[in-house]
Structure 1
Amino acid sequence: MKLMNRRDPYVREVIWFAVCCRALALVLQVVTRFLGSSTPVLYWFSAHLLQDYEPWLWKEEAATQTEASLSEKFNVGSFCPGSFRKGISGNPIVRLLLNWRISSPVTKCILGYFLSYWLLGLILHCNFLPWT
């Protein structure tokens, strides 16, 4: 018994639909790669929102307060080298992640988006699934 009859009139439509869907998926993947890697508008807009909703992040005192609060909560030097403690004050993303509970909902949404995009991309790419 043959699985597909060559005289079936719908074979062309099914093949045409499959080709169009694949072409659309390919175009969308390439466009999102180009937009994500070559245009910094998404990152500028996210940084602008973070500046508006997290003013404590950009103050110079925030770095020393974060480092002091970390050393009070737990001994950072016990499981990290001494240079890591200095790196916390220089990286605003780490400060945002460490102060997750006091962050605004907008900041949580921005960080959640970027972290989920990164994690989902890591999982799908390692399993040879299409991800941009």
Structure 2
Amino acid sequence: MELLDPSQKEVLRFAVSCRVLTLGLQVLTRFLGSSTPIMYWFPAHLLQDQEPLLRCVDTAPRKPLEDNSTPGQKAPRNCLMKLLCNWKSCSPVTKCILVYFLTYWLLGLILHCNFLPWT
């Protein structure tokens, strides 16, 4: 006596293969993302070479902010915020890199909170 008819076997085979593929991709991207800094060095290298906003470096030495600093004194700005605030003047390479990483971050945030597979 057969427990499953042929259509149920196909559905089960398809579900198992999809799960194995999803699991393999998640583990692979986690390993690559956590153990391979080259994935982050390459976009950083492109940004340093292609983006004029990141090339200008202050020649004056920076003074670290202390707890007793004046209330109106601002902390040094983040490079990412500098690029996002000057979006229109960014190079196309910079825009592509920013869109990729921001989209990856936003999709990961939305999908992970909804218990969907995302790495």
TM-score, normalisation: structure 2: 0.78
Q: 1:92 — aligned with what? A: 79
* Alignment partner of 2:23 out of 18, 22, 26: 26
Q: Quote the Cα distance in structure 2 between the aligned partners of 1:13 and 1:111.
A: 42
Q: Output the amino acid matched with 2:40.
A: Y
* Alignment partner of 1:36 out of 25, 33, 54: 33
CA contact (8 A) 2:53 2:83 kept: no
1:49 and 2:38 are equivalent in the alignment: no
Shift of 1:7: 5.5
What whole-Å deviation, never above 9, does each CA across 1:77-121 have from its counterpart, x for those lacking one? xxxx745x3221xx2212111111100111001001101111111
Shift of 1:16: 2.0
Q: 1:117 — aligned with what? A: 104
Runs of 4+ aligned structure 1 residues displaced above 4 Å come to: none
Shift of 1:22: 0.5
Of residues 109-118 and 49-58 in structure 1, the stretch that sits farther from structure 2 once superposed is 49-58
Q: Quote the Cα distance in structure 2 between the aligned partners of 1:51 and 1:112.
A: 17
Q: 1:65 — aligned with what? A: none
Larger RCO of the pair (alpha carbons < 8 Å, separation 6+): 2
Q: Quote the Cα distance in structure 2 between the aligned partners of 1:112 and 1:7.
A: 47
1:131 and 2:110 are equivalent in the alignment: no
Q: Output the amino acid matched with 1:87.
A: P
TM-score, normalisation: structure 1: 0.71
CA contact (8 A) 2:111 2:118 kept: yes
Size of the alignment, in residue pairs? 107
Gaps of 5+ in 1: 63-80
Q: 2:67 — aligned with what? A: none
- Aligned alpha-carbon RMSD (Å): 2.2
